[in-house]
Amino acid sequence: MKRILDNLHVDVLAAVLMVAMIATGYILRFPLPPGSNKALSLWGLTRHQWGAVHFWISLGLLVLVVVHVCLHWQWIVVTVKRRLGRTTSPSKSSYISGLLTASVLLAVLALFGWAAQTSVKPITESIAGVCPPEYAADQTGPIASAETAPASNQQVAFWSDVYPIFEKSCLHCHGPSKQVGGFRVDRKEDFFAGTTPWVVPGSSKDSPLIVILSGERKDMARADVHRLANEQLTLVRAWIDAGAKWPDRPAN
Ligand code: HEC
């Protein structure tokens, strides 16, 4: 019988695919471990894409193994029969045994596929614990954190959030060494005293300080140095809206 596929070719190809399967399996286990899908890539492919490559290589290898078994079927049948003590010629019965074996295997696989398809469940609290958090993160994306929450919802602490802004951006002109306009940022009463105080606790929109720090007031010298970055301005605003509390400075 002239064979279309040579055993040697099949086996060489199977060996190549097996090495490729091991290599891509290694990629999925070590350089791109579970949970790294959103963060890492290797040679232009993500973990997800490498998973697909690994799958198709493995499937190709499986097909070659089946071809290999088919090419050797006659030998397999003779060997099994000899072990069972029967030595009749296998010429006709080999087709029947081949069909029988293949249909049993297919039936088992179909049963398994059906069982797997119908048993898929969403992860519940009780079994979520066995799944490392990075697996969950793979599906749900980054979990919202305090850093991504809108600034208006933030708890603003004067000495840790607001004063450092004054200290860094204002103190050298409005501090102990220089008091431009007689105003000092390190003196509480300079913010709240006078007939029109710079800060109206509870209302950032009525506070003249915000007009200066947002860069809206143009009729003053050095208006440019008073304009704060948006996130700094948001913090100062939130501090004023929350009552502009200025507690005693904590001892460091
Ligand atoms: C480079 C120096 C400089 C820096 C830095 C600076 N200022 Fe000023 N500031 C001035 C000058 C100059 C004036 C006077 C403007 C005028 O009178 O026309 C002024 C005026 C003011 C006034 C009004 C004072 C008044 O009596 O009219 C306030 C309030 C003020 N600054 C707050 C701040 C705050 C808050 C910061 C930090 C975000 C700051 N300044 C940073 C130079 C500075």
Atom 26, ligand 1: residue with shortest CA distance: 181
Per-residue pLDDT tens for 32-74? Answer: 888 787 778 899 889 999 999 999 999 999 999 988 888 888 8
Q: Which two tokens stand for residue 150?
A: 């809108």
Residue 219 CA: nearest ligand 1 atom is 18
Atom 36, ligand 1: residue with shortest CA distance: 170
Residue 208 CA: nearest ligand 1 atom is 29
Task: Please determine, for residue 211, whether its predicted confidence score (pLDDT) is greater than 90.
Answer: yes
pLDDT of residue 89: 59
Report how many domains make up the chain. 2
CA-CA distance, 130 to 99, in Å (whole number)?
A: 43
CA of 96 to the centre of ligand 1 (A): 97
Does residue 55 sit in the same domain as residue 133? yes
CA-CA distance, 9 to 207, in Å (whole number)?
A: 84
Atom 42, ligand 1: residue with shortest CA distance: 173
Q: Which of 60-69, 88-97, 164-173, 213-222 has the lowest mean pLDDT?
A: 88-97
Please state, for a pLDDT cut of 90, what percent of the chain lies above it: 50
Band (pLDDT 50/70/90 cuts) for residue 5 is low
- Which is higher by pLDDT, 118 or 137? 118
Does residue 136 sit in the same domain as residue 219? no
Task: Please determine, for residue 137, whether its predicted confidence score (pLDDT) is greater than 60.
Answer: no
CA atoms within 13 A on the CB side of 89: 2
CA of 226 to the centre of ligand 1 (A): 7
Task: Please determine, for residue 183, whether its predicted confidence score (pLDDT) is greater than 70.
Answer: yes
Residue 220 CA: nearest ligand 1 atom is 18
Does residue 121 sit in the same domain as residue 188? no
Q: Is 191 in the pocket of ligand 1 (CB under 6 A)?
A: no
Mean pLDDT of 202-223: 92
61 lies in which domain range? 7-140
| Domain-terminating residue out of 140, 161, 185 | 140
- Which is higher by pLDDT, 99 or 90? 99
Q: Is 207 in the pocket of ligand 1 (CB under 6 A)?
A: no
Mutation pick for ligand 1 pocket among 177, 179, 183, 200 (CB with most ligand atoms within 8 Å): 183
CA of 180 to the centre of ligand 1 (A): 6
Task: Please determine, for residue 143, whether its predicted confidence score (pLDDT) is greater than 70.
Answer: no
Q: Which of 12-26, 142-156, 175-189, 206-220 has the lowest mean pLDDT?
A: 142-156
CB 58 within 8 A of CB 23: no
Residue 221 CA: nearest ligand 1 atom is 18
pTM over 0.75: no
| Domain-terminating residue out of 120, 140, 160 | 140
Does residue 136 sit in the same domain as residue 157? no
| Domain-terminating residue out of 93, 118, 140 | 140
Nearest to 127 by CA among 136, 138, 118: 136
CB 126 within 8 A of CB 113: no
Does residue 93 sit in the same domain as residue 163? no
pLDDT of residue 41: 85
Task: Please determine, for residue 149, whether its predicted confidence score (pLDDT) is greater than 90.
Answer: no
Does residue 32 sit in the same domain as residue 107? yes
Within a domain: residue 2? no
Task: Please determine, for residue 124, whether its predicted confidence score (pLDDT) is greater than 80.
Answer: no
Does residue 11 sit in the same domain as residue 136? yes
Please state, for a pLDDT cut of 70, what percent of the chain lies above it: 83
Torsion of CA 157, 215, 186, 151, to 10 degrees: 0
Average pLDDT, the chain: 84
pLDDT of residue 134: 45
Measured CA to CA in angstroms, residue 3 lies from 12, 15, 16, 62, 64 at distances of 16, 20, 22, 20, 15
- Which is higher by pLDDT, 159 or 96? 159
